[in-house]
Structure 1
Amino acid sequence: MKKIFKKKQSYILAASIIISASFSTNSFGFELTSSDIQEGEKMAKTFEFSGFGCDGGNLSPQLTWSDAPMSTKSFAITAYDPDAPTGSGWWHWVSFNIPAEVTSLSRGADLQSLGATELTSDYGSIGFGGACPPEGHGMHRYQFTIWALPVEKLELNDKVSSAIAGYTLNSMAIGTAKLTATYNR
């Protein structure tokens, strides 16, 4: 009886793993890389905000993604600081409706020229807003995420909040790839 029970447990565990993998948004092979920032490494001042007491270049980093799911019809990109002392993190960049044929962005990319929608960052300005953690607050993580989407256009306008955009992306993404860099002052 014990043998049968253990065998059933093994089958249940295997089935759970297979089901979890098939519903995961972290697509096998989907990858986000950059020539400007590296996983777990501190970003250069080039990517620091210009304002709020910071005086960096306020440029978005170069980003490249590969091996997106086959059914991808558009992309979204976000940059988020979960360590901001706000209770809700800090949205540095939210853009969607990036055409499916786009697989890289140059440093300081203008996403609106690609036909993408860029939202107002938590700084109150449209588009990318660089790192600017409070002085002495320690190292902050900056999570750059590319989202593969099954639609050409999200039914959201440029006035929607970053939280609503994040909710929408989480609810419908068919794949994600993330690159987390750090910064402190």
Structure 2
Amino acid sequence: MLTASYSVSQSAPASRRAGDLLWPSLEDSKPDLLTRLMTFFRGCDDYVQNSPWRRDMSETLRLHGRDEFRPVPSQAAVIGLLAAWAELRKVLLADDAFLALVHQDMPEDAPDQFQSLKAALVWFRIGLDRDVRTVEARNWLDALGWQDILTLAEKRDQAAERLIAGTAIVGPEGDIVALPAARREGAV
């Protein structure tokens, strides 16, 4: 069983060497597009679940990074995302499964609960493509770089799979890094 108690040598920032880093820390100073999108999706979910108490959608979504995107999602794009809330929840469940893997107190069943984020995003997009109310949401995701989002999700999934297989660890900065022995054996 993989545990987060492994650590990378402190003599050099080993987890930052190009060949070692599989996925950056969640506390990275400049989150990638995928991380920002997951934060925004959490804001959409938060709004849907708490809308009777938080009637101001704009404020809730601003707090979850709506204004950090270029282009900023229009109100119609947000409504389209909310129309696909059931599919969006599945994306967030896959994100939660990843977060459990990298948590310092990883639950024992976290590897068994892992779900591919890329697969969840693909199904989310299929759901958007089937609903005429989501045209603006689809256009916004395409303008952001949907293929780039899927590429990042695949990279993150691969890092998680390596973590589960025991050929990577959560480094001291919270990054997922390849184990040196795994690199030497050609596993990387």
Tell me which interval the TM-score lies in, with the shorter structure as reference length: under 0.3
**Highest relative contact order (Cα 8 Å, sep 6+), 1 or 2?**
2
Computing the radius of gyration from Cα coordinates, the structure with the larger value is 1
TM-score by length of 2: 0.23
Higher strand residue share = 1
TM-score by length of 1: 0.23
